[in-house]
Amino acid sequence: MLPYNSTKSRRKKYRVVETHPSGLLHITGIAVDAPLSIFSATGVLVYNGIATSEEMDIPLRVEGVYIIRSGGNVVRVVVSH
């Protein structure tokens, strides 16, 4: 298995499945061991970590637009509770 940052590694697309009323953002299809960063619409880093599984729930307590970056992919999402 190649590390996520290898030039020969496959890029895996992920998607946001849903946001929960509790403020959890459910993301699926993340490459395990890849960095995962979430930014507010103004560019403030609100979450930074390493994907521990292909599905993750990230707590985002404030409604708004967020930018999710992982494994070379970038997705914009609107979170509303």
User: Which residues span the domain enclosing 28?
Assistant: 15-79
| Side-chain-side CA neighbours of residue 64 (13 Å) | 14
Give the number of domains in the chain.
1
- Taking the C-alpha atoms of residue 30 and residue 50, their distance in angstroms, rounded to an integer, is 10
* 5 vs 79: which has the higher pLDDT: 79
Report pLDDT for 26. Answer: 85
The verdict on residue 4 lying in a domain is no
Which residues make beta-bridge pairs with 55? 28
Report pLDDT for 16. Answer: 60
Q: Provide the whole-model pTM.
A: 0.74
Which residue intervals of the chain are DSSP H helices?
A: none
Report pLDDT for 18. Answer: 58
Report pLDDT for 48. Answer: 96
The verdict on residue 10 lying in a domain is no
For 26-35, the pLDDT digits (tens) are 888 888 999 9
Q: What is the mean pLDDT of residues 6-19?
A: 51
> At a CB cut-off of 8 Å and minimum separation 6, what does 73 contact?
11, 12, 13, 14
* CATH code of 32's domain: 2.60.40.10
Report pLDDT for 62. Answer: 86
> At a CB cut-off of 8 Å and minimum separation 6, what does 36 contact?
27, 30, 47, 48, 49, 50, 51, 56, 58, 68, 69, 70
The verdict on residue 60 lying in a domain is yes
